[in-house]
Amino acid sequence: MIIRKMIKPVYAHCDIPCGIYETDSMRHAAETCLRMIEKIEALGELDSQDKWNNFVRMVDIKEKHAQRVKDEAYILWSDYFKPEHLTRFPQLHDVFWRLAKQASIVKQTVDKAACEQLLHNVTEADTLFTDSKK
């Protein structure tokens, strides 16, 4: 397709402004979500203003870090990975799509299993990233 051709030569320089890609940030963010869920569950009965205060704060921290997971995933997916990677890793789009969708689920629930699934998705993406550098 002509559009593709037109922009293809630029792809090679696509990483000029950053060039530093890593998956630590994504993993730390996902782990923070898990920690928040554990802490929310550990609050037990919400029988004081202090507990409610921290419930609200933990939900907010979970939300922001689940978004962080998404943001880091988007950077890898659209900035780091190039058409030549897609040829080598045809599962690329699917891996990142499911990862982003799972992060949404972690936002919408207080569910350790959902967050462990997210960590699993992060590992999948991380493996792809590591393999792409070989």
Residues that bind a copy of itself (CB under 8 A): 3-4, 6-7, 10-11, 13-14, 16-20, 22, 24-25, 28, 31-32, 35, 39-41, 46, 49-50, 52-63, 70, 74, 77-79, 93-94, 97-98, 100-102, 104-105, 107-111, 114, 117, 120-121
Nearest to 18 by CA among 89, 90, 72, 83: 72
- Report the residue number, 83 or 134, with the smaller CB distance to a copy of itself: 83
Integer Rg of the chain from CA? 18
Nearest to 65 by CA among 46, 39, 44, 42: 39
Write down the H helix ranges in the chain. 2-11, 24-42, 49-74, 83-88, 92-108, 112-132
Shortest spacing between CB 95 and a copy of itself, in angstroms: 10
Shortest spacing between CB 134 and a copy of itself, in angstroms: 21
> Contact 80/109 with Cβ under 8 angstroms?
no
- Report the residue number, 38 or 131, with the smaller CB distance to a copy of itself: 38
Shortest spacing between CB 43 and a copy of itself, in angstroms: 9
